């Protein structure tokens, strides 16, 4: 008889912990999508125009913060918040998570030999980027979980998302789910990796053909 309240309390704690873990997973994936878009864009631009590794990293980090904040701000604006109020909430909710991801992501890229200088048609670039983003995700997840447990982080914006009818120009703001963005980013990166592998194999075949012709 006396054990019933204890079991009920334990079940409630387990459900609460599961809820926090789920929200932390969603929040981390949400931040990761914005960071990934900015990182990929920054590294692609920096590599394409021949920026140094330092300037490329600076560009990638800047764009990661820009896209990370944008992806969190737009849904709040669509829900009815003013842009200033929405951005203020996002700055408070997402900054630590994005910063954690950026530090870890760029540290991994910098530590992998040749990753920053590999070029867009080199499999090393895409494989390194996928590894770096994966490590960044696992680094940021406990940060988001810690913030959510204390009513901070994405807990600040959770109650403000659109739940009813949207009117006016706010209807033009696209609604992109985290799952959709993650799938698009994974597909893009895998596509880049496959294209770079195919390009490398093509170069090797051309080289072998050239050597064979020169020996005749």
Average pLDDT, the chain: 81
Predicted confidence band at 102 (pLDDT cuts at 50, 70, 90)? very high
pLDDT at 15 over 60: no
Q: What is the 3-state secondary structure (H, E, C) of the chain?
A: CCHHHHHHHHHHHHHHHHHHHHHHHHHHHHHHHHHHHHHHHHHHHHHHCCCCHHHHHHHHHHHHHHHHHHHHHHHHHHCCCCHHHHHHHHHHHHHHHHHHHHHHHHHHHHHCCCCCCCCCCCHHHHHHHHHHHHHHHHHHHHHHHHHHHCCCCCHHHHCCCCCCCCCHHHHHCCCCCHHHHHHHHHHHHHHHHHHHHHHHHHHHHHHHHHHHHHHC
Q: Terminus-to-terminus CA distance in the chain, angstroms? A: 93
pLDDT for the residue numbered 206: 64
Residue 20 CB: number of other CB atoms within 10 A? 16
pLDDT at 88 over 80: yes
Range among 116-120, 196-200, 204-208 with highest mean pLDDT value: 196-200
pLDDT for the residue numbered 211: 60
pTM (2 decimals)?
Answer: 0.79
pLDDT for the residue numbered 62: 94
Predicted confidence band at 155 (pLDDT cuts at 50, 70, 90)? low
- CB 91 within 8 Å of CB 70: no
pLDDT for the residue numbered 9: 53
pLDDT for the residue numbered 11: 54
């Amino acid at each position: 008889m006396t054990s019933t309240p204890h079991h009920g309390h334990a079940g409630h704690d387990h459900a609460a912990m599961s809820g926090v873990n789920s929200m932390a997973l969603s929040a981390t994936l949400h931040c990761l999508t914005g960071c990934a878009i900015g990182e990929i864009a920054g590294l692609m631009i920096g590599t394409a125009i021949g920026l140094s590794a330092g300037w490329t990293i600076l560009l990638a980090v800047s764009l990661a913060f820009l896209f990370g904040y944008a992806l969190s701000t737009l849904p709040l604006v669509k829900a009815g918040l003013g842009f200033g109020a929405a951005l203020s909430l996002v700055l408070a909710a997402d900054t630590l998570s994005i910063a954690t991801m950026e530090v870890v992501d760029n540290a991994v890229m910098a530590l992998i030999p040749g990753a920053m200088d590999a070029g867009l048609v080199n499999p090393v670039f895409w494989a390194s980027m996928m590894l770096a983003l994966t490590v960044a995700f696992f680094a940021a997840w406990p940060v988001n979980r810690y913030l959510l447990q204390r009513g901070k982080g994405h807990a600040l914006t959770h109650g403000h998302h659109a739940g009813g009818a949207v009117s006016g120009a706010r209807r033009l703001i696209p609604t992109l789910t985290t799952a959709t963005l993650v799938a698009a980013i994974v597909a893009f990166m895998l596509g880049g990796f496959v294209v770079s592998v195919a390009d490398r194999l093509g170069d090797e075949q051309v080289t072998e053909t050239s050597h064979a012709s020169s020996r005749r």
